[in-house]
């Protein structure tokens, strides 16, 4: 591949001189089709509650969620992701509430599916919003027990599919979960329900604001290093993705986002499967606070999102989805 020319006949600045020519030669772009909007839901009626650690982001009671979804539809955002803030009294050590067909996620799914059919809904599969210890699975001898957890996760997945969930997104990092989930879905005639595996989820320090948002932060005992990946590793990411594809994943996710652009690219180059990225809560709040404090300007949002596209992402879960959708339209 010949990419070099010679100065002065070759001047790379020539194609940077004006906005129209920059637009003409741009290699990547962001469209609203690339966006996934996360929505936090809470109990009660007529409630819109600010999340302190995530400026500009709220928790909505189910009657208020429809307005947000309507807004997302209007902006042509293809997919929303639901995250519940479960009241403390409904949490226990095995996360039973995850299997309650009247839990927040199930109620929201029914309501959204009744009112909208042009937007997809994805739901996390993991127990952390429901356990009183904040871990994603069932504890045994102070560690999350893989196979006992799988038993609940597959039931949680089936329930969400029955409630109308379009994309089941296991975020728990148990071994073998994609396989058992695919199997139970297929056995119950949900062969078209998709699986987006959080295949590469690192034990990250960027999840703090999210854990506040779903109320698991103060509860979390210890850390999640015995199941989420070590941030020193990348070969292991390939093994995770390889297994999940074999087990039936339709799409895979890399999480967090910006510190892991190399991983997104590595996976895209090695497996020709849709790769999604998750610009997580810590990344969001850092950028948002930077803008608020005038350390960086607003364009940093677009820059951060384009970096995922450059790395090879098909879509991005981002708390900036609504905000940036307006901007893209105006461009
Ligand atoms: C839990 C889950 C987490 C996030 C999404 N699903 C946090 C965790 O693993 O502790 C984090 C998302 C974010 O930080 O925005 N299974």
- To the nearest whole percent, how much of the chain has pLDDT over 70? 99
**Do residues 177 and 150 make contact, with C-beta atoms less than 8 angstroms apart?**
yes
The reply to whether 293 falls in a domain is: yes
> Which residues touch 164 (CB under 8 Å, ≥6 apart)?
109, 110, 112, 113, 121
Helix (H) or strand (E) holding 32: none
pLDDT per residue over 253-288, tens digit each? 999 999 999 999 999 999 999 999 999 999 999 999
* pLDDT of the residue at 69: 98
* pLDDT of the residue at 331: 56
Using the mean position of ligand 1's atoms as its centre, give its distance from the Cα of residue 202 in Å. 10
Tokens coding 314: 């098909």
pLDDT band per the 50, 70, 90 thresholds, residue 289: very high
pLDDT per residue over 226-257, tens digit each? 999 999 999 999 999 999 999 999 999 999 99
The reply to whether 115 falls in a domain is: yes
**Do residues 256 and 206 make contact, with C-beta atoms less than 8 angstroms apart?**
yes
**Mutation test residue for ligand 1: of 126, 135, 197, the one with most atoms within 8 Å of CB:** 126
pLDDT per residue over 55-105, tens digit each? 999 999 999 999 999 999 999 999 999 999 999 999 999 999 999 999 999
Q: The domain spanning residue 86 has which CATH number?
A: 3.20.20.70
Measured from the CA of 208, which atom of ligand 1 is nearest?
14
Vertex 214: Cα angle to 209 and 218 (nearest 5): 70
Tokens coding 111: 């309501």
Residue 2 has pLDDT above 90, yes or no: no
State the residue for tokens 């504890």.
139
Residues 125-144 have a mean pLDDT of 96
Backbone φ, ψ for residue 261 (5° rounding): -60, -30
The reply to whether 135 falls in a domain is: yes
State the residue for tokens 């510190």.
259
49: β partners: 59
The reply to whether 145 falls in a domain is: yes
Measured from the CA of 124, which atom of ligand 1 is nearest?
6
User: Which candidate, 310, 327, 255, places its Cα nearest to that of 284?
Assistant: 255
Using the mean position of ligand 1's atoms as its centre, give its distance from the Cα of residue 126 in Å. 10
Whole-angstrom Cα distance, residue 133 to residue 217?
A: 9
The reply to whether 251 falls in a domain is: yes
**Mutation test residue for ligand 1: of 171, 199, 279, 287, the one with most atoms within 8 Å of CB:** 171
Q: Ligand 1 within 6 A of 308 CB?
A: no
pLDDT per residue over 7-39, tens digit each? 999 999 999 999 999 999 999 999 999 999 999
* pLDDT of the residue at 219: 87
Neighbouring C-beta atoms of residue 3, cutoff 10 Å? 4
Residue 177 has pLDDT above 80, yes or no: yes
Domain count, the chain: 1
Q: Which domain holds residue 129?
A: 30-330
Residue 173 has pLDDT above 60, yes or no: yes
**Do residues 39 and 82 make contact, with C-beta atoms less than 8 angstroms apart?**
yes
Using the mean position of ligand 1's atoms as its centre, give its distance from the Cα of residue 323 in Å. 21
Whole-angstrom Cα distance, residue 83 to residue 80?
A: 10
Residue 329 has pLDDT above 90, yes or no: no
Helix (H) or strand (E) holding 325: helix 321-330
pTM (2 decimals)? 0.96
Neighbouring C-beta atoms of residue 232, cutoff 10 Å? 7
* pLDDT of the residue at 217: 84
């Amino acid at each position: 591949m010949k990419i070099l020319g010679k100065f002065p006949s070759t001047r790379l600045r020539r194609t940077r001189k004006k906005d129209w020519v920059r637009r003409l030669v741009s290699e990547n772009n962001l469209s609203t089709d690339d966006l996934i909007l996360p929505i936090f839901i809470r109990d009660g009626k007529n409630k819109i509650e600010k999340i302190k650690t995530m400026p500009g982001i709220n928790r909505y009671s189910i009657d208020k969620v429809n307005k947000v979804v309507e807004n997302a539809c209007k902006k042509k955002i293809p997919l929303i992701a639901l995250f519940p803030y479960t009241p403390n009294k409904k949490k226990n050590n095995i996360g039973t509430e995850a299997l309650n067909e009247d839990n927040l996620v199930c109620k929201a799914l029914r309501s959204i599916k009744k009112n909208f059919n042009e937007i997809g809904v994805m739901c996390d599969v993991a127990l952390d919003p429901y356990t009183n210890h904040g871990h994603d699975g069932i504890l045994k001898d102070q560690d999350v027990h893989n196979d006992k957890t799988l038993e609940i996760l597959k039931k949680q997945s089936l329930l969400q599919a029955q409630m109308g969930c379009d994309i089941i997104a296991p975020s728990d990092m148990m071994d073998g979960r994609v396989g058992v989930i695919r199997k139970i879905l297929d056995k119950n005639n949900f062969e078209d329900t998709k699986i987006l595996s959080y295949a590469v989820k690192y034990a990250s320090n960027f999840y703090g604001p999210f854990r506040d948002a779903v109320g698991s932060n103060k509860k979390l005992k210890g850390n999640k290093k015995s199941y989420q990946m070590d941030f020193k590793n990348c070969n292991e990411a390939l093994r995770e993705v390889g297994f999940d594809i074999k087990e039936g994943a339709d799409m895979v996710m890399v999480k967090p986002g910006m510190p892991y652009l190399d991983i997104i690219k590595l996976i895209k180059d090695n497996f020709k499967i849709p790769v999604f990225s998750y610009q997580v809560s810590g990344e969001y709040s850092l950028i948002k606070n930077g803008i608020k404090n005038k350390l960086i300007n607003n364009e940093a949002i677009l820059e951060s999102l384009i970096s995922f596209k450059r790395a090879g992402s098909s879509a991005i879960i981002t708390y900036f989805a609504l905000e940036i959708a307006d901007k893209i339209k105006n461009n």
